[in-house]
């Protein structure tokens, strides 16, 4: 949330940010309503002052014996109170309208944010790794996953509807392995790990900037008056809501959690496989720091490097892009996306996102700290997806596939995979039943498992 002072000082800049982000918001309407609120407030305060002073004067007139003057003043008070009651109702109505408009006002964008309307206008910053050059026809992650018995999409749809899935055997191990690798990486870099609520009150989503504009992407648990989170960013930021905290050293929090998104508006997009699903898991990084753009910019780069380091451990080629204003959410000041190479798409696909929100979330959540002079300031908040699965399994399976359909497991994951170095396709036994995918470990005797 922006403060009204900033909006009044930079109305054209705020309107430009709204237009670039595609938000139906009018700065003029907001300022008009604010002016109306101020006028009403002045009238209400004047009428209240008259009422209070008249009450004292009535008592004085009665005490002096001037009952006629006291009765006349009572009539004036009665008329005053009737008008006051109507104006107070109008003031409350205008305040509610103003609150709605304030919740639509977008965050400013950083000076170096690219101008653009969609992800097609994002600007590449750097690349890492070489795209694989297969000497065979590569398979997509669905074909590989089904051949290795790592996933079952058909039964996922049967049980839960479209964009749902089952992971099986070594598919589950991979899913958990990438998460644990991310957690271990963040623990070495000073993050405190939290296990967070997955159902939150509506105010938590409003205060973190996901509502009202993102409500259609969120599942409501109606009987509980709560909502399922689409990212643990919500409970991590809300952890310090309405508090004054110590950020002399940035506070670094992380969480691994299930996440839920309705994917409204994505009908027909990425319908095959694991790219765009309703339920997934994320390891999230969140940082609170002082209200200093130079400091929060450094932290944004640090969070992005954490995600890049993870992808390098996974031995995956990727690129970092600066996200344009039109591809940003309402709350974002500056954003990088990391896109990992997905051979089946013959393109980079988004797997990570890093965002600096300035003090936008902290204002909504009322998270403050005392500066060196003892004055209360709103924090800056930042977040980054350290890893999201099962989407990360797409490049993991596709980039590390071999001609025989086996999958090489990166060295960094092997300790989380019971020592597996290679996933080998299932075979058909004498009675035509599929045997589970086998794994190979060069340091242990080869053995067969229902992975």
What residues are labeled active site? 261, 276, 350, 353, 391
CA dist., res. 257 & res. 245, Å (int): 25
Token pair, residue 382, equals 């930042």
Helix ranges, 340-422 (H): 360-365, 393-399, 411-414
Strand 407-408 relative to strand 422-424: parallel, antiparallel, unpaired?
A: antiparallel
Distances (CA, A) of 447 to 146, 405, 423: 21, 18, 12
How many of the other CB atoms lie within 10 Å of CB of 202?
A: 15
Please give the DSSP secondary-structure letter assigned to residue 434.
B
- Is 224 buried (19+), middle (13-18) or exposed (0-12) by CB count in 10 A? exposed
Distances (CA, A) of 74 to 54, 196, 344: 8, 59, 82
Strand partners, 284: 255, 385
- Asked whether 169 and 152 are in contact (CB, 8 A), the reply is no
The helix/strand/coil state of 28 is helix
Token pair, residue 401, equals 């596939």
Strand 192-194 relative to strand 251-260: parallel, antiparallel, unpaired?
A: parallel
The helix/strand/coil state of 228 is strand
Buried b (16+ CB within 10 A) or exposed e, 368-379: bbeeeeeeebbb
- Asked whether 114 and 123 are in contact (CB, 8 A), the reply is yes
Token pair, residue 18, equals 């709204």
Token pair, residue 378, equals 């709103």
Token pair, residue 298, equals 């450094």
Residue given tokens 């600007």 in the structure block: 123
CA dist., res. 197 & res. 183, Å (int): 18
- Is 358 buried (19+), middle (13-18) or exposed (0-12) by CB count in 10 A? buried
Residue given tokens 């899935």 in the structure block: 165
Helices 27-64 and 67-104 cross at an angle (nearest 10°) of 160
Could you report how far apart the first and last alpha carbons of the chain are, in Å? 48
Rg (CA), the chain: 29
């Amino acid at each position: 949330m922006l403060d009204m002072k900033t909006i009044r000082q930079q109305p054209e800049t705020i309107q430009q940010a709204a237009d670039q982000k595609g938000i139906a918001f009018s700065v003029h309407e907001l300022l008009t309503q604010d002016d109306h609120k101020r006028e009403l407030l002045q009238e209400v305060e004047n009428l209240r002052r008259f009422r209070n002073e008249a009450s004292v004067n009535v008592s004085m007139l009665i005490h002096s014996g001037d009952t006629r003057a006291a009765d006349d003043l009572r009539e004036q008070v009665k008329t005053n109170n009737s008008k006051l009651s109507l104006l107070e109702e109008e003031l409350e109505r205008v305040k509610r309208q103003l609150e709605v408009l304030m919740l639509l006002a977008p965050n400013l964008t950083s000076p170096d944010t690219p101008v653009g309307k969609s992800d097609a206008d994002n600007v590449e910053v750097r690349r890492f790794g070489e795209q694989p050059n297969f000497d065979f026809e590569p398979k997509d992650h669905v074909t590989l996953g089904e051949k290795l018995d790592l996933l079952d999409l058909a039964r996922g749809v049967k049980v839960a509807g479209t964009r749902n899935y089952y992971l099986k055997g070594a598919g589950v191990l991979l899913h958990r392995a990438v998460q644990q690798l991310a957690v271990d990486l963040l623990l070495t870099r000073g993050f405190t790990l939290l296990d967070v609520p997955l159902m939150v009150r509506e105010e938590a989503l409003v205060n973190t900037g996901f509502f009202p504009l993102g409500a259609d992407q969120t599942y409501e648990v109606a009987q509980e008056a709560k909502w399922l989170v689409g990212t643990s960013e919500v409970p991590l930021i809300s952890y310090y809501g309405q508090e004054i905290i110590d950020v002399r050293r940035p506070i670094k929090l992380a969480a691994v959690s299930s996440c839920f998104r309705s994917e409204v508006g994505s009908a027909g997009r990425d319908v095959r496989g694991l790219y765009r699903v309703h339920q997934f898991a994320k390891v999230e990084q969140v940082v609170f720091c002082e209200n200093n753009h130079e400091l929060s910019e450094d932290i944004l780069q640090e969070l992005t490097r954490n995600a890049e380091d993870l992808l390098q451990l996974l031995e995956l080629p990727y690129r970092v892009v600066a996200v344009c204003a039109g591809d940003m959410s309402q709350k974002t000041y500056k954003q990088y996306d990391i896109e990992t190479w997905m051979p089946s798409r013959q393109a980079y696909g988004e797997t990570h996102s890093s965002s600096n929100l300035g003090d936008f979330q902290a204002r909504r959540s009322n998270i403050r700290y005392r500066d060196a002079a003892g004055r209360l300031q709103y924090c800056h908040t930042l977040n980054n997806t350290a890893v999201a699965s099962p989407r990360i399994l797409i490049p993991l399976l596709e980039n590390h596939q071999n001609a025989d359909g086996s999958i090489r497991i990166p060295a960094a994951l092997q300790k989380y995979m019971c020592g597996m170095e290679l996933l080998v396709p299932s075979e058909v036994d004498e009675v035509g039943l599929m045997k589970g995918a086998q794994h190979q470990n060069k340091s242990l005797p080869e053995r067969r498992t229902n992975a």
